[in-house]
Amino acid sequence: MARATKKSDDKNQNTVEEFREWLFQPSRLLRFALLASIPVLAPWLYRQLPKLESRDEYRLALDKVVIDPAPVAPIPADLFEQVQKRAELPNELSVLDRDLPRRLAEGFALHPWIARVVEVRNEFPSAVKVTVEYRQPVALVHVPNGYYAVDKDGILLPPQDFSKADASEYIAVKGITSTPQNGAGQRWDDPAVTAAAKLAELLAPKWKQLQVATIIAPQNVSAATESDALQFDLETQTGTRILWGRAPGTQHPGELTPTQKLGRLNKYLAEFGSFDRPSGPYEIDIRHWQEITRRPLNASSASAARLKETSSRRR
């Protein structure tokens, strides 16, 4: 038993000696020393590297930021300068800044003219390209103290970017009694404005061709009013009132579709040439399923006249 124990001790002693001989070789000790120094040397070595982000070839001036598509009136030409001010961006940017795309995207998203930032692409070394979707004005909402432009969602657009000369470029919305409580880029908290904006978007491509000048909003609307309960009229350039009904998107049973209503307006114009003919201005009701009715506005007691589906009355 003692002899077996001695052999085991001798074997362990030999293993230790072999390990010491392997470990304490100069080349191996040097490697271990180098590995141990990495935590100390690495920060120092990093500080010795050249600061590439500060070199001119990696700096980007503001005029090298490309906005796609470029802003056109009424969107202000100095849009990027406004974005820079809102987002507190420096006068120069580093193309090596990994945070640059996010900073630019968030900066542009803050601007009330920007509906969505599609992409920020670093086109090194010449430029950074920011692709955006702009909000588009669809109507001017007239209120007692002036007018405000809104987009299709009823988002208020910067009032300073519109002038009286712009009034003829957009359909008017009248009858709104509220005023916007939030700043530009925020929704006008009035269901009548939101619904009127949807109707304005529908009419936008051809409102002048249809001789429509104004959307008349219903009265006594509160913030709690259901938009599906609101009915709108249209007023032509010559004073005829068209009873349109509910705004696009309604789920109300029995309401004609926007396409059907536009079809009736087009058919009336094709037959008579104007909503005033033959002896208007009229109140024209296009909401019924079977027919269009009208009555002279200057004779409110006159009975509603049924419009026949022929062109003989035009003659």
pLDDT average, residue stretch 92-121? 86
| CATH number for the segment(s) 139-306 | 3.40.50
- Kindly tell me if the per-residue pLDDT of 16 is higher than 70: no
Return the pLDDT at 7: 53
Cβ neighbours of residue 101 closer than 8 Å, sequence gap 6 or more: 120, 121, 122
Return the pLDDT at 12: 59
pLDDT average, residue stretch 287-311? 64
Cβ neighbours of residue 107 closer than 8 Å, sequence gap 6 or more: 83, 84, 86, 87, 89
- Kindly tell me if the per-residue pLDDT of 137 is higher than 60: yes
Long-range contacts of 245-249 (CB under 8 A, 24+ apart): 245/286, 245/287, 246/195, 247/195, 247/196, 247/198, 247/199, 248/198, 248/199, 248/201, 248/202, 249/198
> In this structure, which amino acid lies at residue 95?
V
- Kindly tell me if the per-residue pLDDT of 170 is higher than 60: yes
Return the pLDDT at 299: 53
Return the pLDDT at 156: 97
245: left (phi over 0), alpha (psi -120 to 50) or beta: left
Nearest to 228 by CA among 242, 203, 244, 247: 247
- Kindly tell me if the per-residue pLDDT of 9 is higher than 60: no
Highest-scoring range by mean pLDDT, 57-61, 107-111, 223-227: 107-111
Return the pLDDT at 43: 61
Nearest to 167 by CA among 131, 139, 198: 139
* Portion of the chain with pLDDT greater than 70, in percent: 72
What are the respective helix, strand and coil percentages of the chain, to the nearest 5? 35, 20, 40
pLDDT average, residue stretch 101-110? 90
- Kindly tell me if the per-residue pLDDT of 5 is higher than 80: no
* Residue 216, both tokens: 């008349």
Residue with the bigger pLDDT between 306 and 188: it is 188
pLDDT average, residue stretch 23-36? 62
User: Helices 100-109 and 79-87, interaxial angle, to 10°?
Assistant: 110
DSSP assigned state of 157 = P
What pLDDT digit, counting tens, does each position of 188-233 carry?
999 999 999 999 999 999 999 999 999 999 987 777 678 888 999 9
Return the pLDDT at 190: 92
| Angle, alpha carbons 132-138-142 (nearest 5°) | 130
Nearest to 246 by CA among 260, 234, 229: 229
pLDDT average, residue stretch 65-77? 92
Which strand (E) or helix (H) includes residue 148? strand 146-150
Mean pLDDT of the chain: 81
303: phi then psi, degrees, rounded to nearest 5: -75, 150
How deeply is 101 buried, as exposed, middle or buried, from its count of CB atoms within 10 A (0-12, 13-18, 19+)? middle
Return the pLDDT at 105: 92
Residue with the bigger pLDDT between 3 and 309: it is 3
Return the pLDDT at 251: 87
Which strand (E) or helix (H) includes residue 265? helix 258-272
Return the pLDDT at 133: 97
How would residue 49 be classed by pLDDT, with cut points 50, 70 and 90? Answer: very low
C-alpha–C-alpha distance, residues 37 and 11, integer Å: 35
- Kindly tell me if the per-residue pLDDT of 148 is higher than 70: yes
> pTM of the prediction?
0.74
Contact 200, 152 (CB under 8 A): yes
| Angle, alpha carbons 295-234-230 (nearest 5°) | 105
Class of domain 54-134: alpha beta
Return the pLDDT at 64: 75
Return the pLDDT at 247: 94
Return the pLDDT at 89: 80
Highest-scoring range by mean pLDDT, 1-5, 122-126, 244-248, 287-291: 244-248
